[in-house]
């Protein structure tokens, strides 16, 4: 039996969940992949966020699907297309989807 080790939302015990710092730390320490969640903003941008609302992890309130990218950016959310570098997208997100 093979066991894979994934960084659940990066490494939230040490860094803010779903933060680039948490993803990088987990990757630098030999994990097999990263588990994260992606939501879509009202204007069609992808946002890394576990919750469908911004209330728990930011100083804002509301549904991600109801907020535009500029409104979300005011709450310091990590934006998928702007914050994950190419190597992380290719290597680790594909592993989570079952690729190699």
Q: What is the pLDDT along the chain (100 residues), one digit of tens a residue?
A: 888 888 888 788 888 887 788 888 888 888 888 888 888 999 998 888 888 998 887 878 899 999 998 888 877 655 544 555 544 555 544 444 444 4
Collapse the DSSP code of 30 into the 3-class scheme (helix H, G, I; strand E, B; otherwise coil) and give the result: coil
Give the single-character DSSP code of 67: S
Q: From the candidates 45, 50, 75, 86, which is the catalytic residue?
A: 50
Known catalytic residue at 50: yes
Beta strands in 15-62 (DSSP E): 33-35, 38-40, 46-48
The greatest distance separating any two alpha carbons of the chain, rounded to the nearest whole angstrom, comes to 46
pLDDT score at 66: 96
Tokens 């941008």 belong to 45
Residue at token pair 């933060």: 19
Structural tokens at position 71? 């409104």
3-state secondary structure of 65: helix
């Amino acid at each position: 039996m093979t066991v894979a080790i994934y960084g659940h939302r990066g490494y939230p015990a040490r860094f803010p969940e779903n933060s680039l710092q948490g993803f990088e730390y987990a990757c630098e320490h030999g994990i097999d992949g990263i588990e994260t969640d992606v939501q879509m903003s009202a204007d069609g941008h992808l946002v890394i966020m576990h919750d469908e609302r911004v209330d728990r992890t930011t100083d804002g309130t509301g549904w991600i699907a109801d907020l535009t990218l500029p409104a979300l950016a005011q709450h310091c959310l990590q934006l998928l297309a702007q914050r994950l570098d190419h190597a992380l997208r290719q290597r680790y997100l594909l592993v989570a989807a079952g690729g190699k």
